[in-house]
Amino acid sequence: MTNDLNLICNRIDALFVRAPRVRYWLLIVDDAYDQTYNFFFESRQKAHRTRSTPLHTIERHDLGYLETIINGVQQHTQLTQHFKGFTGQRWPRSQRIIQRKKDADEERTL
């Protein structure tokens, strides 16, 4: 677990430059076909397109493990986290719903 967490945090630190008029957030995607979780670092400068940079793929498809990784990332950085592919799923420890409804781009792909 610490290898995944350290790798994600180190890559976030390298990409997060705190530039003015730029929004930053993390995107976590549940890839149901490959049974993996993908982390992306996303940024958007005012009047420009969103830039998405892949951070890491977690091969272990276990929500408990993912919850631990996300808690560690959240302690490391206060970036907003967006989730895709988690519709209706709940975190094992807190029992909170991860993603309430599908995003507009998730609807188009089905």
Residue 39 near residue 8 (C-beta atoms within 8 A)? yes
Residue range(s) defining the domain that contains residue 60: 2-109
Q: What is the pLDDT of residue 95?
A: 86
- Terminal CA-to-CA distance of the chain, rounded, Å? 33
Counting the structural domains of the chain, the total is 1
pLDDT at 1: 55
Task: State the pLDDT at residue 82.
Answer: 93
Q: What's the token pair of residue 28? A: 């976590």
The pLDDT value recorded for residue 99 is 83
Residue 75's pLDDT is what? 94
For 97, the enclosing helix (H) or strand (E) is none
Provide the residue count of the chain. Answer: 110
* pTM score: 0.87
pLDDT < 50: residue spans in the chain: 110
